[in-house]
């Protein structure tokens, strides 16, 4: 799936999610004043693989809540099936599966993939870096999300912040001893 196709499908999904009734399309050739043609919404089904197991109900549960809300907002027309780590793809291959178009959505932490690009760490956290509030401010108010999406464009991915544990600023560093 290329980036344009993903964006087109995302726009369709957003439209489906934002409307709850049938779409109404008026034909331009309707000279007799007949009723407008009614176009029903398509059924959309996406698969979401998580890097987290079901046992992490706070983190994994966020994907289930998202799925339930999208389905409710679309009147059941847009469904996202959530798979825990290892059920659809291994936990650390979620980004690859989304990039290759195997899955439409992935729930993961970008710092798992710093081997692909070290800047991926800034999408989630850096040890001894920003606090959760500072991270949210950078992403939403200071242009961080736009910068991250520019970087994710190299992978044909659009990223959306989804959750914040509030406990990710700490960490350990390793010193090489020669």
Residues 6+ apart with CB under 8 A from 92: 51, 112, 113
Considering the domain architecture, whether residues 119 and 87 belong to the same structural domain is answered as no
Q: What is the pLDDT of residue 81?
A: 96
Is residue 10, in this structure, part of any structural domain at all? no
Domain-located, residue 32: no
pLDDT of residue 130: 82
Residues 75 and 91 in one domain: yes
Query: For residue 57, is pLDDT > 90?
Result: no
pLDDT value of position 7: 47
pLDDT > 70 in the chain, percent: 69
Task: For residues 101 and 129, state if they share a domain.
Answer: no
**Is position 119 within any domain?**
yes
pLDDT at 165: 65
Domain termination residue (choose one: 108, 134, 150): 108
Helix (H) or strand (E) holding 96: helix 94-99
* Contact (CB, 8 A) for 136 and 161: yes
Task: Give 116-157 pLDDT, tens digit per residue.
Answer: 999 988 888 777 788 888 888 999 999 999 999 999 999 999
- Residue 173: inside a domain, yes or no? no
CA–CA gap between residue 102 and residue 94 (Å, rounded): 10
Instruction: Please give the average per-residue pLDDT across 40-65, as a whole number.
Output: 89
Q: Are residues 83 and 130 in the same domain?
A: no
The pLDDT value given to residue 84: 96
Higher-scoring residue by pLDDT: 76, 170: 76
The residue range of the domain holding 117 is: 111-162
Q: What is the pLDDT of residues 61-96, one digit of tens each?
A: 889 999 999 999 999 999 999 999 999 999 999 999
Percentage of residues of the chain with pLDDT beyond 90: 46
Q: 116 and 156 share a domain?
A: yes
Cα–Cα distance between 84 and 76 in angstroms, integer?
Answer: 22
- End residue of a domain, out of 63, 85, 108: 108
| Count of domains observed in the chain | 2
- Which among 105, 164, 119 has a CA at the least distance from the CA of 140? 164
């Amino acid at each position: 799936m290329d980036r344009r196709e993903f964006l087109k499908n995302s726009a369709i999904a957003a439209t489906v999610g934002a409307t709850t009734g049938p779409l109404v399309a008026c034909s331009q050739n309707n000279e007799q004043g007949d009723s407008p043609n009614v176009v029903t919404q398509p059924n959309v089904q996406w698969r979401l693989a998580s890097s987290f197991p079901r046992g992490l109900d706070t983190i994994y549960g966020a994907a289930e809540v998202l799925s339930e809300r999208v389905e409710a907002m679309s009147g059941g027309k847009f469904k996202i099936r959530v798979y825990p780590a290892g059920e659809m793809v291994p936990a650390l291959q979620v980004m690859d599966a989304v990039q290759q178009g195997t899955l439409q959505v992935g729930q993961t932490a970008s710092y798992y993939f710093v081997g692909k690009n070290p800047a991926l760490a800034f999408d989630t956290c850096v040890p001894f870096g920003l606090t959760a509030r500072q991270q949210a401010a950078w992403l939403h108010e200071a242009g961080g999300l736009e910068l991250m999406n520019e970087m994710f464009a190299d992978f044909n991915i659009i990223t959306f912040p989804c959750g914040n544990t509030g406990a990710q600023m700490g960490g350990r560093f390793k010193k090489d001893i020669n």
